[in-house]
Amino acid sequence: MNTLIDLKFKGERTYLHGTDMFNESMSWLTRHHAPLKISKIEFSFHKMVKSSLELSDEKQDGRGEYVAECTYLAGAEPRHIYLHETENPVSGRYPYDEELICKGFLVDVADKSGCYKSSHEKNPGLTDIEIWVALTKALHQQALPEIKGKWLFVRARFPTYLQKMNYKERRLRIVSNFQNLLTRTKLYAEGEPVGEIFFSRI
C-alpha cells in the first residue's frame, strides 16, 4: 500500500523536518491498524529530504534507498513501513518557533540534562515529538557548546506514542555520546522513562 504524504517546510528550513515525517507516519499507523495498539516504535532517518514523500509498507524496487523507515508492533505482529522521496516539490512552509517552545527549559551542563515544566496551554497545537525534539536540540546546544556543526534528529524509540500528551514535567539526559558524532538522549515524563532520541552532527 502506497500513500502520498503532503508535508510543508518548517520555519525557514529547506528540508522536511523529521518530526513532521514522524507525525504523519504515526497518524497513518493509527488509522491503518485501528483498533490494534501500536508499540515498540523505532523510527530512523537516512538522509535529508527536499521533495514530497510516499509512504509504503514494503520496499519499492527501482526506487533507490528509502529516506526513512519505522519498525513497530501492530498488536503482537512485527511490521515495517518506509518513506521514499518522490519527484513532487514541497508546496509550502509554515511558521515554527523553537526558541518559544523551549522557553523556561533549565539545563544542567555538568550532568548533560534538562528539565521542562510544560502544559498544553503553553504549547498549543504542538505534538509530543515536536516538544521532545526541540528540547533535545536545545540541550545539545547548551550542554555541548564546544562541538561545532549542526545537530539533526535521526532516530526515535518509543514503547508507545500518542501525539498529544499534557505532561507537567519533562526531563532529558544525554546518556551516550559516540565521538561527538551521534548521541542518545533518554526522555522522562513525570519521572518515568518514555523513550529515546538520537541526534547526529553534520
Per-residue pLDDT tens over the stretch 121-146: 566 688 999 999 999 999 999 999 88
Q: Are residues 150 and 116 in the same domain?
A: yes
* Shared domain check, 35 and 127: no
Q: Domain holding 115: CATH number?
A: 3.10.129
User: Which of 66, 93, 120 is at the close of a domain?
Assistant: 93
Give the per-residue pLDDT at 61: 64
Count up the domains in the chain and report the number: 2
Q: List the grid coordinates of 76.
A: 503482537
Higher pLDDT: 59 or 9? It is: 9
pTM given for the model = 0.93
Range(s) of the domain holding residue 135: 98-201
Same domain assignment for residues 53 and 66: yes
Domain closes at, from 93, 113, 145: 93
Looking at mean pLDDT, say which of 53-57, 85-89, 154-158 comes out highest. Answer: 154-158
Among 16-25, 117-126, 145-154, 174-183, which stretch is predicted with the lowest mean pLDDT? 117-126
Please state the φ and ψ torsions of residue 16, each to the nearest 5 degrees: -70, 135
Q: Kindly give the residue spans of alpha helices, DSSP state H, lying in the chain.
A: 18-33, 98-101, 128-143
DSSP 80-118: EEEEEEEEEEP--EE---HHHHTTT-EEETTTTEEEEE-
Residue 54: count other Cβ atoms within 10 Å of its Cβ. 17
pLDDT band at 62 (very low <50, low <70, confident <90, very high): low
3-state secondary structure at position 198? strand
Same domain, 172 and 116: yes
Residue at which a domain ends, from 42, 59, 93: 93
